[in-house]
Amino acid sequence: MLKTRQCLLGIRTFLGVTSRMWGFILYILRKHLRTVIQYQTVRYDTLPLSPISRNRLNAVKRKILVLDLDETLIHSHHDGVLRPTVRPGTPPDFILKVNAHTSTHQWYELVVFTASMEIYGSAVADKLDNNRNILKRRYYRQHCTLDLGSYIKDLSVVHKDLSSIVILDNSPGAYRSHPDNAIPIKSWFSDPSDTALLNLLPMLDALRFTADIRSVLSRNLHQHRLW
- Name the catalytic one among 70, 126, 161, 212: 70
Q: Find how far residue 201's CA is from the centre of its chain.
A: 13
Residue 209 to residues 13, 76, 96, 101, Cα–Cα distance (Å): 66, 35, 38, 44
129 catalytic per annotation: no
Q: Which residues contact 31 (CB under 8 A, 6 or more apart)?
A: none
182 touches 169 (CB < 8 A): yes
205 catalytic per annotation: no
- Name the catalytic one among 68, 79, 169, 180: 68
Tell me which residue of 129, 103, 109, 107 sits closest to 205, measured CA to CA.
Answer: 107
Residues tagged active-site: 68, 70
